[in-house]
Structure 1
Amino acid sequence: MKYLDFVLMIDKNNHPCCPINNGKARYLLKNDKAKIINHEPVVIQRIDDYKSENEIRDIFELKIDSGYLNIGFSVSDNQHEYLAGQVELLTKMKDRLYTRSTLRRGRRNRLRYRKNKNMDYKITNNPTYKNGNEDGWFAPSIEHKMESHIRLAKKIMSWIPVDKIILEVAKFDIQKLKADAEGKNISGKDYQNGEMKGYENAATYVRARDEYTCQICKDKKGKNALPGKIQVHHIIPRENGGSDIPSNLICLCPEHHQKAHDNHNNNKLFKELQERKIPTFYKDSTYMNIVRWELFGRLQELCETEIAYGYETKINRRNASLEKYHYTDAVCIKNFKDTTLTKTIYIVEQKRCNDRCMETFTDAKYIDSRDGKRKNGNQLAYIRLSNRPSARVTQKEYIDNQRIYREKKISPGKRTFVKHSYCLKSGDLIYINTGGHKGVFAEYVTAQKVKNGGYKILFTYEGQTVDNPSITLKSFEYEQLRENKCEKIKIVRTRRGMIYRSVDRLEYESLHRDQYDKKQKAS
């Protein structure tokens, strides 16, 4: 297989041109006919009278291997592949939305008036309000993944004159996948006679499946363990990607359920339950079934788009003797034209540009009448006991009222708005010009305010000698950094949204061989 890298190019009117080889790019830069506008991947802009519309070229195809956690992409014509890589999509969307909703809920609960319960404020103040049940609505996590596909396509089309987009889609029979995993055959009426037939929900089915008995007590006391008040436990928590499928649920008594969640799930029992029965999830299959045609329609608005299927890609990849990675799947979509492949691939990481935390709340302080110590409102509040039957219990016998010990209010609660904006964001590239790290290019991680009013800048770079390298800037030096005039640190370039990192293709495949082996077994 031949490998060859190219430099991407646009004209002075920002119209994409045919990629060129490294030698020609050096000639244009040396003779002041072009300038570098992007480093990874390298994109140059012509500053002479060269126009992209005068070029004679082949049809450029952008091939996208859509996925739940990763997106493979490849741009090629009949001779060469010009750009290839994979996007690592953001996860934990649910946690970020929950954090935002918690802050908003707390702010609304602290309003100085009581809302009219008989009035729907959402409809009154916003006649166009939608509650998420209308056609075309998608959950925020799914919407984000689809928008990531669109942003990727738009960025590539701003660098390369893409004439056609080819999107790989698939339709998965999840019930058949489950049956195959259990060694069963399924057909006809079997699709209507699922394992939960006759049960109201998954929790009811799991309790009946486990005979209303704690599975830990059953193992310790034998099969004659008495059934008691049974709770349903998630083997893989929902916050870690788990779901409500029966294979991820198990019956536990309140005592063992509490022990399984001790120390924020970092305990021996929790790990034993995961080793005992690790479920299989079908989130990626469900995602593809939901978005395939919606994604096709959105890409169709950008450019002519065609549909391809996974079985075609699999045949093309095997005929080309390529290993299974997201970017190799992408180049083999529809057909493989025996083109040269790029020696450099790009691993694209998504970085959040801003935090959703718009304000924070500092709780009020009180004197505890029992010991005279100063405590905040959360400590002297209604506290649910550890032996409660559920997390949202409201019965008095399961609640310890600590509010009665509030004696004197020392300070009121206050709302603090986030006003400070750091001049650097996570992922920005900086040059260190002082200290033991002098002369290195590093990636900015975060900034911390120190007591004297300065800032501690934390960064990372390849081959670093300490675990957490940092530099402390005085307040006036930090103000100089805002204008990139600080002598200690220079801002090389800012990175926002999707960050492209160049990697040698063969080196990456040698380091991620286990990924290939797993995919080889799956395919």
Structure 2
Amino acid sequence: MRYIHIMPGASDLNTPRLVITLSKSMTDFISRIILYKENNMKYLDFVLMIDKNNHPCCPINNGKARYLLKNDKAKIINHEPVVIQRIDDYKSENEIRDIFELKIDSGYLNIGFSVSDNQHEYLAGQVELLTKMKDRLYTRSTLRRGRRNRLRYRKNKNMDYKITNNPTYKNGNEDGWFAPSIEHKMESHIRLAKKIMSWIPVDKIILEVAKFDIQKLKADAEGKNISGKDYQNGEMKGYENAATYVRARDEYTCQICKDKKGKNALPGKIQVHHIIPRENGGSDIPSNLICLCPEHHQKAHDNHNNNKLFKELQERKIPTFYKDSTYMNIVRWELFGRLQELCETEIAYGYETKINRRNASLEKYHYTDAVCIKNFKDTTLTKTIYIVEQKRCNDRCMETFTDAKYIDSRDGKRKNGNQLAYIRLSNRPSARVTQKEYIDNQRIYREKKISPGKRTFVKHSYCLKSGDLIYINTGGHKGVFAEYVTAQKVKNGGYKILFTYEGQTVDNPSITLKSFEYEQLRENKCEKIKIVRTRRGMIYRSVDRLEYESLHRDQYDKKQKAS
């Protein structure tokens, strides 16, 4: 990907700015010309600074930072973003400065942030939040229940014991309680604010929130109008649950073969199928449910990846989920209250941001939304933005289960125990039925056990993780800052450390450590390798603003069409 950025000179500031993005494919070059109004916007990067007492100071330009480092008046304590610490008697309390504002564009999947005063923007970027948190919590709870069921000698868990001896059994729906997945996303906002406030003297936080009318969104998607009493007369009014409503909506008819089953017809009772399975992010909303007869329901669940019927159902009707809107409705005031404990906090709304962004002729990204929150006064934006990833520290709190392996007597292939187990068919009249006609016993095909099942726990943490920044002090790569990839054991008992860095001349650069040297590395006392920075929690990666926007132009075009 190549891009050419043509900026106007000082004499022709009113002429348009031209950005030509050239994308090279296998056959030809595709040229795209984007023309938009020049608004006299400048791009400049700053270096963050703290004093020797760890109090944040005003950011400085690159020239002053270079002077301080060259004259041993400061040292580098962070690389992305670059943060230096004064080692002389300079104090932040003696500075005369403007009010620094931290603007946060809260979200379900991404967080945009920007720190600025009346003239400059000093730090900008977006945080990519972790996904599948709910799936990890469900896996952990499943393994925990199985582990406790296998343990026969446990204390009695009657009600008195739960209340007096084990507070974890208290009702979670108390004041201030949130689901763990939602709590994690809120804490990510708080951690981001605390980290930035340790680098920059933030005086005010401005949080953009939104309130969504989900019923109105659903009605607009269906081409309907909703008002007044319509909010109390929803589609499921008068029905016990979603399954009952879906059966009545589809008139107890299979939506594939149009075979109609009576309400009490057993065992051929009509069944409710999830169009998008819950394991793939689906939910129990009526738009994700459809009626199928037992025969087609069983076919739809046989081998999802290569199932033609399963794919046809997904293409037939793709429901819309409102997880992000629901999340913002839940957390907006709680998030505002928690940020207010850190610093003075104000609320802003999305319509104000949209007006400011359009007036400034800025494209819609999370970090541009953040800088346009409330009043947009900046004439200088940062040339570098930071894409922040969240990296989990360890799996030590998660138990892992490895299933036993068997030889299938029918085809001689190797399969795990879950594939050759008791399978309750979907046409059974109840969940706990044990009649043979409703069970497919696959255990009889277990011919030979190849490997036993086992449960493992990660009880220690490794000294290096993928993405850690290390300094090579020996060999052909001496003096190189590199990112750690992985470690491999070698025959002599040592470890082969694989890493990568910009400008490398070989495909897989590596260095070999002996066992005692690897143990020294745990305390960062190894002479061959020094650990410069460990990548845990939020990982900041610097990206050129114009390059990032040129690479994500298609994403921007989709947002423009949607708006």
TM-score for both structures, normalised by structure 2: 0.80
Contact 1:213 1:228 in 2 (8 A): no
Displacement of 1:417 in angstroms is: 4.4
Displacement of 1:214 in angstroms is: 2.6
Displacement of 1:439 in angstroms is: 8.1
Tell me the alpha carbon deviations over residues 223-273 of structure 1, each in whole angstroms, 9 at most, x when there is no partner: 999995333222223233322222222223334333333345454333332
Displacement of 1:449 in angstroms is: 6.2
Contact 2:256 2:292 in 1 (8 A): yes
- Range that drifts further, 482-491 or 217-226: 217-226
Aligned counterpart, 1:321? 361
The alpha-carbon distance between structure 1 residues 272 and 50, as it changes in their structure 2 partners (threshold 3 A), is same
Displacement of 1:197 in angstroms is: 2.0
- Range that drifts further, 133-142 or 23-32: 133-142
Displacement of 1:441 in angstroms is: 5.1
Displacement of 1:432 in angstroms is: 6.5
Tell me the alpha carbon deviations over residues 371-400 of structure 1, each in whole angstroms, 9 at most, x when there is no partner: 999999878875545765677655554346
Displacement of 1:167 in angstroms is: 0.5
Displacement of 1:186 in angstroms is: 1.2
**Contiguous gaps of at least 5 residues in structure 2:** 1-40
The alpha-carbon distance between structure 1 residues 428 and 184, as it changes in their structure 2 partners (threshold 3 A), is same
- Range that drifts further, 356-365 or 187-196: 356-365
Distance in 2 between residues matched to 1:439 and 1:268, nearest whole Å: 56
Distance in 2 between residues matched to 1:260 and 1:437, nearest whole Å: 55
Contact 2:261 2:270 in 1 (8 A): no
Q: 2:240 aligns with which of 184, 187, 200?
A: 200
Distance in 2 between residues matched to 1:420 and 1:453, nearest whole Å: 19
Aligned counterpart, 1:518? 558
Contact 1:350 1:497 in 2 (8 A): yes
Distance in 2 between residues matched to 1:411 and 1:267, nearest whole Å: 30
- Range that drifts further, 183-192 or 401-410: 401-410
- Range that drifts further, 93-102 or 415-424: 415-424
Contact 2:252 2:261 in 1 (8 A): no
Provide the secondary structure at the position in 2 that maps to 1:220: coil
Q: 2:434 aligns with which of 382, 386, 394?
A: 394
- Range that drifts further, 30-39 or 255-264: 255-264
Tell me the alpha carbon deviations over residues 461-481 of structure 1, each in whole angstroms, 9 at most, x when there is no partner: 668899988777664553344
Count of matched residue positions in the alignment of Structure 1 and Structure 2: 523
The alpha-carbon distance between structure 1 residues 247 and 443, as it changes in their structure 2 partners (threshold 3 A), is farther
Contact 1:344 1:503 in 2 (8 A): yes
Contact 2:253 2:259 in 1 (8 A): no
The alpha-carbon distance between structure 1 residues 448 and 136, as it changes in their structure 2 partners (threshold 3 A), is farther
Provide the secondary structure at the position in 1 that maps to 2:338: helix
Provide the secondary structure at the position in 2 that maps to 1:120: helix
Aligned counterpart, 2:75? 35
Displacement of 1:173 in angstroms is: 0.8
- Range that drifts further, 35-44 or 332-341: 332-341
Displacement of 1:204 in angstroms is: 1.7
The alpha-carbon distance between structure 1 residues 485 and 122, as it changes in their structure 2 partners (threshold 3 A), is same
Displacement of 1:192 in angstroms is: 1.6
Distance in 2 between residues matched to 1:236 and 1:381, nearest whole Å: 25
Displacement of 1:221 in angstroms is: 15
Displacement of 1:134 in angstroms is: 1.1
Displacement of 1:329 in angstroms is: 0.6
Tell me the alpha carbon deviations over residues 23-56 of structure 1, each in whole angstroms, 9 at most, x when there is no partner: 0000000000000000000000000000000000
Contact 1:428 1:494 in 2 (8 A): yes
Tell me the alpha carbon deviations over residues 428-458 of structure 1, each in whole angstroms, 9 at most, x when there is no partner: 1235689999987554455566888665656
The alpha-carbon distance between structure 1 residues 406 and 513, as it changes in their structure 2 partners (threshold 3 A), is closer
Displacement of 1:355 in angstroms is: 1.1
The alpha-carbon distance between structure 1 residues 283 and 128, as it changes in their structure 2 partners (threshold 3 A), is closer
The alpha-carbon distance between structure 1 residues 394 and 317, as it changes in their structure 2 partners (threshold 3 A), is farther
Displacement of 1:311 in angstroms is: 0.7
Displacement of 1:491 in angstroms is: 3.2
Contact 2:405 2:415 in 1 (8 A): yes
TM-score for both structures, normalised by structure 1: 0.86
Aligned counterpart, 1:277? 317
- Range that drifts further, 393-402 or 403-412: 403-412
Contact 2:47 2:62 in 1 (8 A): yes
Displacement of 1:74 in angstroms is: 0.4
Identity percentage of aligned residues: 100
